[in-house]
Amino acid sequence: MNNKLKLPLPKDKKLEVFFRVESGCLGPQGEEHVNDFCTSAQKEVDVIDADFVHWNIIPRHDKKLPEMEYKLNNKKLTHDKAAKYLSFFDKNLDEFEGHLHDKLALLIDEYLGH
């Protein structure tokens, strides 16, 4: 990690991660549950890498929007720029995304009572 960075970072310097949850992940009645699930999941992921990441777990109502999106100071980042940002914290973007997917899969199972 870059020793010049003082953690936690202020919100405008944190990587904003938008993860859009499809209602189908929650079963046939997913549309009825997706908002509640996102609220619940938000609380669980807020603590992950909270020093430099701000999470937004939201329903994916618009299929044209990407499942995952990255922003910094309200500006969209490409996958490569998000990877570069995370590298300052010794994080690999593919692993970072994989961990999030794994965590959300566990949260979905818990939510559905599995």
Read off the CATH number of the domain in which 88 is found.
3.40.30
How many folded domains does the chain comprise?
1
pLDDT of 44: 97
For the stretch 12-27, pLDDT in tens is: 999 999 999 999 999 9
Other CB atoms within 10 A of residue 109 CB: 10
Distances (CA, A) of 101 to 66, 87, 94: 14, 19, 11
Q: Both tokens of residue 104?
A: 């959300």
Q: How high is the mean pLDDT of the chain?
A: 95
In terms of residue numbers, what domain contains 41? 11-111
User: Please, are residues 35 and 26 in contact by the beta-carbon 8 Å criterion?
Assistant: no
pLDDT of 3: 53
pTM (two decimals): 0.90
- Give a yes or no: residue 32 inside a domain: yes
- Give a yes or no: residue 5 inside a domain: no
